[in-house]
Amino acid sequence: MKNHLPNGLLREVIKMSRILFCVIFMQTFTASLLIAAESKAQAKSLYEIDVDISLVRASIPETFNQIEVITGFNFSYNSEIVNKDQKIFVGGKTNLGKLLEDISRQSNLKFKRVDENIHVYKKTGEEKPVEERIKRALEFEVSGQILDENGDGLPGATVLEKGTTNGTVTDSGGNFILSVSNENATLFISFVGYEEKEVAVSGRSRINISMVPDIASLQEIVVVGYGTQKKSDLTGSVSSVKPEEIQDLAVPSLDQAIQGRAAGVFVSRNNGAPGSGAEIFIRGAGSIQGTDPLWIIDGVRTAPGVNFNMNDVKTIEILKDASAAAIYGSAAANGVIIVTTKRGEEGTTKVSFNSYAGVSSPLGLPDPLNTEQYAEIKNEAYDLAGEPRIPAYADPDNLPTVSTDWIDELYGNGTIQNYDLSVTGGSVTSNFFISGSYFKEEGTYVGTDFERYSLRANSDFKIGKRIKVGESLFLNYSDRDPMNSSSRDWIRATPALPVFNPDNRFGGFGTVDRLEYQYEGGNPLASELRTEESNKNYRVGGNVYLDIEIIDGLSVRTNLGANFSFKNDRTFTNTYLGGGGVLITSASVLQEYDENIRLLGNSVISYDKQINKHQFKILAGYEAIKTNIERYSASGANFTGGLDVIDGSDPDSRNATGRNFTDRILSQFGRINYSYNDTYLFTVNIRRDGSSFFGEEERYGVFPSASVGWRIINESFMDQFAFLSDLKLRASYGILGNSSGLDRYLYEASYTNSGTLYTFGDGQNIATGLRPSRFANQAIKWEEIETYNLGLDIALLESKLNFTVDYYVKNTNDLLLSVGLPPSAGYLQQAWYNRPLNPIVNVGQIQNKGLEMALSFRERVNDNFSFNVSANASYNENEVTKLNEDERIVSGRWDGGNGNVSVTEVGRPLGSFYGFIVDGIIQSDAELAALNNGAPDGAYINRNTGPGDFRYRDIGRFDENGDFVAEPDGEITGADRTFIGNPWPKWVYGLNAGAKFKNFDLALFFQGVQGVDRFNSFKSITHNLESDYSMTTDALNRWTAESPNNEQPRIILNDPNGNRARVSSYYVEDGSYLRLKNVQLGYTLPNTLVQGLTSLRLYGSIQNLLTITGYEGFDPEFDRGGNADKGIDRGGYPQSRIYTLGLQLDF
């Protein structure tokens, strides 16, 4: 594969990769030394002592002697039980425990280690080959499992022998093994958010210990802006997504993974192509310009995209209201998603491996017409219009013999695979986490795939008691081969077109005679295969921090972050002859390069103080962000010498463009948290942002918020309600800012030399000049989002049952809109290509209001069975409350042709569907005559309207002033258009259910939306006749005189009634759906079967197993377009059902 990365950039990427590799190596080496230094004073297990020994046909005594030399252990044995003449084979790098196991298998010996001595015995049965007893006052081994309140293992819990520093940390399943001084020792167990517990060993070698949540303080920690808070102290609206719910999902991006898992968060996929992304709306769409949430990953502003490894995630917190998000000011209007990645923990080094692989099959594919069906409908359409038939299909008894199913030719099964390996460990003074992953998806559409490599290294180091430093680094690379042809090529191709033609020297693809078949389209397979496209993305970045605790409670943390992103896209299009004689004799190449470098620095000082019943937390910070963006593209054609690079193209064909930007944000921010008696809570945030996007008049904005909370559960009168574990009331108000999706430099006038040829003087000399391309708007500023939130948190039955409900109102003020130029500007009479762009001004308002609910329940029935259920649902209403002079915004292209689909108007949801209402189908000439008789001009719709055509509803007319009057006038005109659909869902919901029975586990995840409309634009092609396009078998259900119906109109050439071409309710369908998004069954092998491993789990899953919907299109979930033209289904890459098998391995 050729490398198309510019040489200078390649050197920089290699240099940064080397630096990152050195950093990872040094931090691993340093952490290992620190761990080794701490464990040197302790007696290690035989399985913790590495040996490198290689002996071939050595006697057993010789082997013992060699081990003594290497390790310092002494072997003690009776010579009579050891066969001195037996030769054994040992070799390679291993640990001493496994080496002795190998010797045991070959010699029928067993070993018992006591301190520095290894005693050798003869095996007499199925005995353990290696046993240990490390005396040094540790004479009794105890093992067991630390369980949470639901019976699930608690990973990372600390188990100590009371009165000593002897202890361990539980593994991922909550299991532990600890040697204590004697059988009467006491274990001390602790874990954040749970009450500490002491348990007497009392001679037991196996102890399972259940922990109890610390109900009094509810110490669950939630990550918020620039810090953390106890969940019990939150006064804002924050949702959490558990990483264990998403780590095994066969999706490429984090945004897709959180779909349906948090109330108030609506996620819609763009399409099902490998490496495709998704859109996220938190509490509705509050802007036309852009509504992407702000992503913070390990303190750095960066969206994860498709380059992020989900197995690196430790926590995901979604900040939804102003109280929670205002600390991020102008970037937080659309919500904030804070992701922290995993870090090392104190204890022995742990290795985890997670992998899955599977196959995928496309969903919802339609059935295209075969040649006989295609000819039948074409002939009928031409006959009804009185036009001569297409020659190739005119005689039904002599049709072309070729009948190609283009769906079968273009779609098939895909594959998916993922491999993730992580190493983590730490000591009292340091920790590290290193991970690497590989992901690849081969799509269900021919020639499409996505591949990703990622590497992460996180570490922390303590220097003394008050200084801590650390870093989070990542390196990602991805390569995507997208769909190169149009998603509608398959529906255009006539079934009579052969796939291949060996006589075609331009690629060997099939063709038909253009005139005989009246087909001017291409060959869909050729369109895909003749184009080689590669989208490469390189990302390097992370952050380093220094945290100094000046005095108790007072600390300063400085964070420096960087994100280097480089994109290199290459598209090569080969020569081609296919389809209806489409001939391209010149190959071409397009090379595009994008460089995005973001640098961030912030410093935060915080003070935490408890005075009697008063708790104060004060935070203040300063932040600067700089982003440099450079973009270049170059193209060329007509290559010589077989060189498919731009330098090998015809110089006259070459073209190049380029641009660069620099964005800056400078901010100051602060927060105060106060609580009294852990009952009355108060939080205030403020942030001041300055942005280079705005002129001097409006460069800075201030964004405050305030919230209060009342922990009713702590009031004395609540003592009588023992079933309640928590009861808290929350309220908040705040203002956020938004500039997402806004063009740069709108406060400056811009000019162009396009279309600016002038003539001067008597000779009429031609010169190129400049003209305004956009007028300046010095007053442009952020959109301001004003939010109100009222919430209630309830926990019952020892926190087994939890319920949260929030009501919110989100008002977007100073909405940024494109406003038409007044006639006084003097440009309206010019051609559109010479007219300046409409200025963007702050004139509109949008309101979103709704309700969010989340419910969870967990129960441990007995030692063998436990289950959990969690559900969330959110209701949202979107309404435009103000536009510029209450004008309409018309948008939304579609496949049918005439008019736009979407209209944004005051009092309606953003981008509502607007068109005619279909009232049925005209069934007879008599019915048509009755309609025409009532029309002022004798034509109810069109003079060529006939039986089988749509009957549209007559709802009004325009008066002499052009104003609408709701009085039917007997004919169909533009006045009869009205609002016919809402593209924004009223309800979005998700349901998680899980159960564990012994070693089996089962998880189900449902996701859906309710109360949403979809405009099935693609239906205008699949169900009716569009020029030389084919159709699907749905067209067989058309109205005919022999088989009339009231649902689908007749098919006639040129569509005189506008059945296909009018925007109408015929295309509006209920887009509600319920989908079984994922089902997973797993089995964890018993420890007795996986000796030497901490755990081994096998699992299988099916994604998109079941969908319940009445929608006829490809998929009701897909949604593309801007916020003003949502919900228009123009076809696309279908979603897949994915079957995977995987394993999780810890040791």
**Using one digit for the tens of pLDDT, what is the confidence trace for 205-259?**
889 998 877 654 445 678 888 888 877 788 889 999 988 888 878 888 888 889 9
Summarize pLDDT for 579-606 with one digit per residue, the tens: 776 777 888 999 999 999 999 999 999 9
Q: Flag the least confident range among 81-95, 359-373, 381-395, 1006-1020.
A: 81-95
Contacts of residues 658-661 at CB distance under 8 Å and 24 or more positions apart, as own/partner, are: 658/630, 658/631, 658/632, 658/633, 659/630, 659/631, 660/628, 660/629, 660/630, 660/631, 661/627, 661/628, 661/629, 661/744
Q: Which residues pair with 500 in a beta bridge?
A: 509
Q: Flag the least confident range among 357-361, 362-366, 554-558, 892-896.
A: 892-896
Average of pLDDT values for 37-64?
Answer: 70
Residues 268 and 202 grouped into a single domain:
no
pLDDT at 707 over 80: yes
CATH number, domain of 195, equals: 2.60.40.1120
pLDDT at 409 over 50: yes
Asked if 172 contacts 1095 with a C-beta cutoff of 8 angstroms, the reply is yes
Measured CA to CA, the distance from residue 685 to residue 224 in angstroms comes to 12
Residue type, position 903, single letter: V
Q: What's the pLDDT score for residue 356?
A: 96
Please state at what angle helix 60-71 crosses helix 96-107, rounded to 10 degrees. Answer: 170
The reply to whether 307 falls in a domain is: yes
Summarize pLDDT for 282-321 with one digit per residue, the tens: 999 989 887 889 999 998 888 888 888 989 999 999 999 8
pLDDT at 56 over 70: no
Strand 130-133 versus strand 109-114 pairing type = parallel
Q: What's the pLDDT score for residue 27?
A: 44
Q: Give me the torsion for CA of 267, 273, 275, 280, rounded to 10°.
A: -10
Best CA proximity match to 339, nearest among 312, 321, 365: 312
Domain count, the chain: 4
Average of pLDDT values for 795-806?
Answer: 92
The reply to whether 245 falls in a domain is: yes
Q: What's the pLDDT score for residue 335?
A: 92
Q: pLDDT band at 830, cuts 50/70/90?
A: very low
User: Domain ends where: 133, 163, 183?
Assistant: 133
The reply to whether 124 falls in a domain is: yes
Q: Is the pTM value of this prediction over 0.75?
A: yes
Asked if 874 contacts 997 with a C-beta cutoff of 8 angstroms, the reply is no
Q: What's the pLDDT score for residue 899?
A: 81
Best CA proximity match to 418, nearest among 1073, 1144, 971: 1144
At 1123, give phi and psi (nearest 5°): -65, -20
Residue type, position 737, single letter: G
Cα–Cα separations (whole angstroms), residue 995 to 240, 241, 519, 864: 21, 18, 58, 10
CB count within 10 Å of CB 1049 equals 25
Summarize pLDDT for 1036-1049 with one digit per residue, the tens: 999 999 999 999 99
The reply to whether 268 falls in a domain is: yes
Summarize pLDDT for 708-734 with one digit per residue, the tens: 999 999 999 998 888 898 999 999 999
Asked if 200 contacts 189 with a C-beta cutoff of 8 angstroms, the reply is no
Share of the chain above pLDDT 90, in %: 54
Summarize pLDDT for 949-976 with one digit per residue, the tens: 999 999 999 998 888 999 999 999 999 9
Strand 265-269 versus strand 414-426 pairing type = unpaired
* Biggest CA-to-CA distance, the chain: 123
Best CA proximity match to 351, nearest among 1095, 1098, 1085: 1095
Measured CA to CA, the distance from residue 869 to residue 863 in angstroms comes to 18
Residues 121 and 181 grouped into a single domain:
no
pLDDT at 906 over 90: yes
Summarize pLDDT for 1106-1132 with one digit per residue, the tens: 999 999 988 998 877 788 889 999 888
Residues 261 and 288 grouped into a single domain:
yes
Q: pLDDT averaged over the chain?
A: 87
Residues 183 and 242 grouped into a single domain:
no
The reply to whether 702 falls in a domain is: no
pLDDT at 30 over 60: no
Average of pLDDT values for 780-807?
Answer: 93
pLDDT at 31 over 60: no
The reply to whether 475 falls in a domain is: no
Average of pLDDT values for 747-755?
Answer: 79
Asked if 1009 contacts 983 with a C-beta cutoff of 8 angstroms, the reply is no
pLDDT at 823 over 70: no
Residues 167 and 94 grouped into a single domain:
no
With tokens 């499992």, the residue in question is: 145
Strand 449-463 versus strand 430-442 pairing type = antiparallel
Residues 58 and 122 grouped into a single domain:
yes
Strand 1136-1146 versus strand 1095-1109 pairing type = antiparallel
Asked if 246 contacts 257 with a C-beta cutoff of 8 angstroms, the reply is yes
Asked if 540 contacts 17 with a C-beta cutoff of 8 angstroms, the reply is yes
Q: What's the pLDDT score for residue 809?
A: 97
Best CA proximity match to 423, nearest among 29, 22, 16, 93: 29
pLDDT at 832 over 80: no
pLDDT at 137 over 60: no
Best CA proximity match to 299, nearest among 213, 225, 190: 225
Average of pLDDT values for 409-421?
Answer: 96
pLDDT at 125 over 70: no
Residue 973's Cα: distance from chain center in Å?
45
Burial class (CB in 10 A: 0-12, 13-18, 19+), 397: exposed
Residue 1011's Cα: distance from chain center in Å?
24
Q: What's the pLDDT score for residue 32?
A: 40
Measured CA to CA, the distance from residue 671 to residue 675 in angstroms comes to 13
Measured CA to CA, the distance from residue 706 to residue 703 in angstroms comes to 11
The reply to whether 518 falls in a domain is: no
Residues 203 and 257 grouped into a single domain:
no
Strand 140-147 versus strand 206-210 pairing type = parallel
Strand 117-122 versus strand 74-76 pairing type = parallel
Q: What's the pLDDT score for residue 40?
A: 35
Residues 227 and 289 grouped into a single domain:
yes
Residue 1133 half-sphere exposure toward CB, CA atoms < 13 A:
24
User: Alpha helix (H) ranges present in 3-128?
Assistant: 7-39, 60-71, 96-107
Measured CA to CA, the distance from residue 559 to residue 547 in angstroms comes to 9
At 400, give phi and psi (nearest 5°): -55, 145
With tokens 């709306």, the residue in question is: 281
Q: Which helix (H) or strand (E) holds 877?
A: strand 865-882
Measured CA to CA, the distance from residue 827 to residue 265 in angstroms comes to 44
Measured CA to CA, the distance from residue 110 to residue 120 in angstroms comes to 6
Residues 128 and 145 grouped into a single domain:
no
pLDDT at 870 over 60: yes
Q: pLDDT band at 72, cuts 50/70/90?
A: confident
Measured CA to CA, the distance from residue 190 to residue 175 in angstroms comes to 14
Average of pLDDT values for 74-78?
Answer: 78
Residues 183 and 248 grouped into a single domain:
no
Measured CA to CA, the distance from residue 414 to residue 1103 in angstroms comes to 14
Q: What's the pLDDT score for residue 28?
A: 41
Q: Which of 195-209, 259-273, 1133-1147 has the highest mean pLDDT?
A: 1133-1147
Q: What's the pLDDT score for residue 191?
A: 81
Encoded tokens for 676: 């009294």
Size of the chain, expressed as the number of residues it contains: 1147
Average of pLDDT values for 934-942?
Answer: 91
Best CA proximity match to 738, nearest among 790, 803, 689: 689
CATH number, domain of 318, equals: 2.170.130.10
Residue numbers of the domain that contains 175: 140-210
Summarize pLDDT for 613-645 with one digit per residue, the tens: 999 999 999 999 999 999 999 999 988 766 788
Asked if 703 contacts 734 with a C-beta cutoff of 8 angstroms, the reply is yes
Measured CA to CA, the distance from residue 635 to residue 647 in angstroms comes to 10
Measured CA to CA, the distance from residue 901 to residue 893 in angstroms comes to 6
Residues 246 and 299 grouped into a single domain:
yes
The 3-state DSSP class for residue 979 equals: strand
Asked if 758 contacts 733 with a C-beta cutoff of 8 angstroms, the reply is no
Residues 198 and 228 grouped into a single domain:
no
User: Domain ends where: 210, 245, 267?
Assistant: 210
Best CA proximity match to 977, nearest among 1059, 918, 1050: 918
Asked if 1055 contacts 1021 with a C-beta cutoff of 8 angstroms, the reply is no
Q: Flag the least confident range among 152-166, 1073-1087, 1091-1105.
A: 152-166
Higher pLDDT, 673 or 820: 673
Q: Which residues pair with 489 in a beta bridge?
A: none
User: Domain ends where: 927, 959, 976?
Assistant: 976
Q: What's the pLDDT score for residue 216?
A: 44
Q: What's the pLDDT score for residue 768?
A: 80
Summarize pLDDT for 186-219 with one digit per residue, the tens: 898 988 677 788 888 888 888 999 887 765 444 5
Cα–Cα separations (whole angstroms), residue 185 to 137, 158, 181, 286, 451: 12, 16, 7, 61, 54
Residue 743 half-sphere exposure toward CB, CA atoms < 13 A:
16
CATH number, domain of 51, equals: 3.55.50.30
The reply to whether 981 falls in a domain is: no
Q: What's the order of all strands across the beta sheet hosting 313-319? A: 238-241, 313-319, 336-341, 294-297, 300-301
Share of the chain above pLDDT 70, in %: 92
pLDDT at 821 over 70: no
